[in-house]
Structure 1
Amino acid sequence: MTPEFESTVQKAIENDVLPGAVMLVRSKDGKLNYTHSLGPLSLSPSSSPANSPLQPDSILAMASTTKLLTSIAVLQQVQSGKVALATDISPHLPELAAQPVLSGFTPDGQPILSPRTEPILLKHLLTHSSGCSYTWNNPDVVTYLTTITNKTVPVPLTPVGGSTVPERCSYPLSFQPGKGWVYGSGLDWAGLLVERLSGVKLEVYLQDNILSVLGIKRGEITFYPARYDALDGRRAE
């Protein structure tokens, strides 16, 4: 990469366009092999040690990148014959199957709820067509949770911290399954489905059946970085 490229990224960090960047580029023939990191490990002024730079092996939040790993795990269940893409997941995920469809509110603020009439198929969970939204992209769900049920609104990207998928994602659907599209928690539920079909926690399943096959050691990709002392000092804030 050219110095001009790195200078452009550095200016973006200085102008608060980017918090930082870890850049890795590999060409198939091996002739291009580039690794470079820019920016601070933490944006907190009280971070220790102060102003530590990002490193190529800094630990970053994967966020929705985990959806790819979960999808592979789900498709392994399909390949093994435990489930099919057209399977109605209701027997496996009764908490989700119990959710009605929320289509708005009456003038006096009461939710307009309709019974779910379409089956929630596994393929709906994988393609964001199950009716499952997130709270940040569905204001009606936020209103429902805060004013109707008095629940604390679950925040996306919050660390697991003991909460479960049913606890965080059991709220009404945005539409009848298969009748629309909205980016949402379908893959969260699909991960729970993998746990119930395999009998082990999702992280254990991913490590044993996907990550270890790729040569990724236990803890290098994890939902629980605090459990691994070796990651201390490498976690980006």
Structure 2
Amino acid sequence: MNSDLQQRMEAVLADALDQQEMSGASVLVMKDGKTLCRLEAGYADRKAGRKIKRDTIYRLYSMTKPITAVAAMILLERGELCLQTPVYEYIPSFSGGKVWRDGHLEEAIRPVTIHDLLNMTSGLSYGDSDTETERRTRALFCETERRLITESPMTTREFAEKAGAIPLLYQPGTSWKYGISADIMGAVIETVTNQTLGAFMRKEIFEPLGMTDTGFYVPEEKQHRLAMAY
């Protein structure tokens, strides 16, 4: 352990907690396979007084995206996926793509490819503005959320099929937009492997790496370790 680094990191976390910039954190610094600094500070649940521990489970949120990219690269290495392949070969609704431009629809100059999904140059969005593309994307999110706790929650592939019918925000490959490209990539992976994305990740990534607490759901017996989101 590097005592100087440890003290500096303790000071940084203490200041962040004092300023209420966060509720708690767990920090690990490694170099050349050696641990230089490891510490926990603050609370996983302020109301319950539950402190951060080394085995606290956190929500990954969009860090799921690089893991999805790793899953895609595994298939690429195996020759089961090609970067230049049009997405419609896996998700048919992406054929005959349209682009919403200046208040009207125009034909896509080329199809969205796997490369576009990984680069987020697909023209897909998160629905954070007020174009036709983004209004319809928000409506898809609302439908997904409504069905989440019903007997027919929307599957990854169903989500992708519906997303393929939404006009793109720009011509594929001509710009960049943070959006649902990784979600569609997940549906492509499911189609190629005939497994759920979670099952493929567990078998090919999490289990080989000993990532025993990583997944799309937290089992009931582990939920007491889950950090609250503030």
Distance 1:72 1:2, change over 3 A: closer
Query: Which of 69, 76, 79 is the equivalent residue of 2:77?
Result: 79
Look up the match of 2:98: 100
**Bigger fraction of residues in strand:** 2
Q: Retained in 1: the 8 A contact 2:17–2:24?
A: yes
Q: Please report how far the alpha carbon of residue 99 of structure 1 lies from its aligned counterpart in structure 2 after TM superposition.
A: 5.1
Look up the match of 2:185: 190
Query: Which of 200, 208, 213 is the equivalent residue of 2:203?
Result: 208
Q: Please report how far the alpha carbon of residue 87 of structure 1 lies from its aligned counterpart in structure 2 after TM superposition.
A: 0.8
Deviation per residue, 1:103-158 (Å, 9 max, x gap): 244xxxxxx2223231111111100111111123x332444567xxxx36549x9x
Q: CA RMSD in A?
A: 2.8
**Bigger fraction of residues in helix:** 2
Runs of 4+ in 1 over 6 A off after TM superposition: none
Distance in 2 (alpha carbons) for counterparts of 1:233 and 1:76? 33
- Give the percent of matched residue pairs that are identical in Structure 1 and Structure 2: 23
Query: Which of 7, 10, 14 is the equivalent residue of 2:11?
Result: 7
Alignment map for 1:114-125 (pairs within 5 Å): 114-125=106-117
Q: Retained in 2: the 8 A contact 1:142–1:153?
A: no
Q: Retained in 2: the 8 A contact 1:35–1:56?
A: no
Distance 1:37 1:144, change over 3 A: same
Output the TM-score relative to the length of structure 2: 0.81
Counting matched residue pairs gives 215
> Per the alignment, in what secondary structure is the counterpart of residue 32 of structure 2?
coil
Distance in 1 (alpha carbons) for counterparts of 2:96 and 2:60? 30
Alignment map for 1:151-170 (pairs within 5 Å): 151=139, 153-154=141-142, 162-165=153-156, 166-167=158-159, 170=163
